[in-house]
Amino acid sequence: MVNPIEIKVRRLRKSDDRGGFQSGNIELDRFFHRYAGQNQFRHHIGTSYVAETDNRIVGFTTVSSAELTAEKLAKTFRRRLPDYPIPALRVSRLAVDERFQGNGIGKLLLKSVFELSLDIRDQAGCYGVVVDAKPETVAFYSRLGFFTLEIISGALRDRPEPVPMFLPIATIAQAAGR
Ligand SMILES: CC(C)(COP(=O)(O)OP(=O)(O)OC[C@H]1O[C@@H](n2cnc3c(N)ncnc32)[C@H](O)[C@@H]1OP(=O)(O)O)[C@@H](O)C(=O)NCCC(=O)NCCS
């Protein structure tokens, strides 16, 4: 059991050793070992944040900017939104080392994403946080307030299908008191 207070979340550094990270999900591990660095430092298409304790990376999340369409948002929002693309922040990857799962680290990483979304809201605009959740993690995101977005029919889907989920910035702001 790890005390989440001892865990620090910070941006990934070039010098970080990512090789030992193991979440039990081969795709997520491969992404972190091979691509998280180049995506962040060379291509600038996604930034990773790591949870660290005792100089060891025990979790990571990768975020990038996203655009939502009013069509993609639930009916409740549709009426109040303009037709042009709406800025959002995407959680494109999230994983906790399997030896440390169940210690609040995933939640801690998402909290840092929420803080970031509020900073972006103020600096560039951000309507909320979006994630394509694996079916087995829908409950995890729901507990944090995410709700399921309508799926656009006809789109090519992975198997098993990810579930698009969304957390409005207003909800994040209210919880954070910002
Ligand atoms: C999903 C994952 C990131 C969760 O991280 P974690 O550190 O183990 O989760 P936490 O300890 O922060 O859990 C936070 C809360 O969610 C709950 N929770 C965790 N995983 C859950 C799941 N799969 N379903 C439902 N609830 C879940 C916890 O019980 C906890 O509840 P509480 O706040 O009431 O105590 C982690 O299990 C993981 O890396 N899984 C493999 C990779 C993966 O599937 N990533 C998600 C990609 S969409």
What gap in Å lies between CA 168 and CA 171, rounded to an integer? 5
What is the pLDDT at residue 99?
97
The answer, yes or no, to whether residue 152 has pLDDT greater than 90, is no
The answer, yes or no, to whether residue 37 has pLDDT greater than 80, is yes
> Helices 105-123 and 169-176 sit at what angle, rounded to 10 degrees?
110
What gap in Å lies between CA 8 and CA 27, rounded to an integer? 25
Q: pTM of the prediction?
A: 0.93
Of 86, 173, 89, 70, nearest to 131 by C-alpha is: 89
The answer, yes or no, to whether residue 159 has pLDDT greater than 80, is no
- What are φ and ψ of residue 67, in 5° steps? -125, 135
Q: What distance in angstroms lies between residue 60's CA and the mean position of ligand 1's atoms?
A: 13
Of 111, 66, 64, nearest to 85 by C-alpha is: 66
For position 138, which CATH number holds?
A: 3.40.630.30
Q: Which of 48, 49, 52, 137 to mutate to test the pocket of ligand 1 (most atoms within 8 A of CB)?
A: 137
Q: What is the pLDDT of residues 63-111, one digit of tens each?
A: 999 999 877 776 667 667 888 899 999 999 999 999 999 999 999 999 9
Q: Which of 23, 96, 132, 163 to mutate to test the pocket of ligand 1 (most atoms within 8 A of CB)?
A: 96
The total number of structural domains that make up the chain: 1
Residues with CB under 6 Å of ligand 1 are 23-25, 28, 94-96, 101-107, 133-134, 136-137, 139-140, 143
* Structural domain boundaries, residue 135: 4-176
